[in-house]
Amino acid sequence: MDMIDTRIPDVKVLTPKRFGDHRGYFSETWNAARMADLGLVFDFVQDNESLSAEPGTLRGLHYQAPPFAQTKLVRCATGAILDVAVDARRGSPTYGQWAAARISAEEGNQILVPRGFLHGFVTLVPQTQVIYKVDNLYDKESDGGVDCFDPDLAIDWGITRDEATLSGKDEDLPAFRDFVSPFEYGEF
C-alpha cells in the first residue's frame, strides 16, 4: 500500500497494490492489519455507493456532526472523480483550507477523509460509481453541509456552478462563513 499526504497532512491518498495477469488484477482495497501498520486504525461499519450518470455531478460539501462524525475511505469502482476535503476543525492550523485528489478506478487509488472535514466530489467521466467506507452509521439529524461553490473556500472544481449538476439539497447549503463548525481540532 502506498500512502501520500495531501496539502493537508491528515488527508491521505492510498494506493493499494494490484496483482495482475492475463485475467485482469486482484487488489486488497482494505486490510485492517496492514492499515494499522501505517498508523490508520478505523472500525468501518458501513459501506456506501453512488452512481453518477453524467460528468459534472457534484455531491457535497457534506459532514455528520458528532457524535455521528465519520471518517471516509473513498474510491471509484468505475470512472473518476475530483475528491475534496475541507478542514472544518476549529483551532486547526489548516481550518478552512481544502485538499483535493483525482481518484479513479483506473489508478485504483483511494482518499482517506478524517472526521472533522467537509467532503465532496465531482464526477469527471460518465457512469462514475463511487464506493466509500465510513466508521460511523448515518444519522439524518447530524447531517449537514456547506456551499461547495463558496467564494471564501475558492475550491477549484474544474467547473462552474452553472455547469454542475447539484441536488436540491446541495444548491441551498449555507456559506462557510455562516457555518458553525461542530468540530474541534484534536477532538478525534
| Residue pLDDT, tens place only, 71-115 | 999 999 999 999 999 999 999 999 999 999 999 999 999 999 999
Q: Would residue 132 show up in a list of annotated catalytic residues for this protein? A: yes
pTM score above 0.75: yes
Which is nearest to 124 in space by CA: 138, 137, 142, 106?
106
* Catalytic residue (choose from 22, 25, 62, 185): 62
C-alpha cell at 47: 459501506
Q: All domains of the chain, ordered by start, with CATH?
A: 2-174 (2.60.120.10)
- Calculate what percentage of the chain has a pLDDT beyond 90: 98
* Catalytic residue (choose from 119, 132, 138, 185): 132
| Residue pLDDT, tens place only, 21-30 | 999 999 999 9
Instruction: Provide the pLDDT for residue 90.
Output: 97
Work out the pLDDT band at 14, boundaries 50, 70, 90.
Answer: very high
Say yes or no to pLDDT of 188 above 90.
no
Mean predicted lDDT score pLDDT of the chain: 96
* Phi then psi dihedrals of residue 74, to 5 deg: -110, 135
Radius of gyration, CA atoms only, the chain: 16
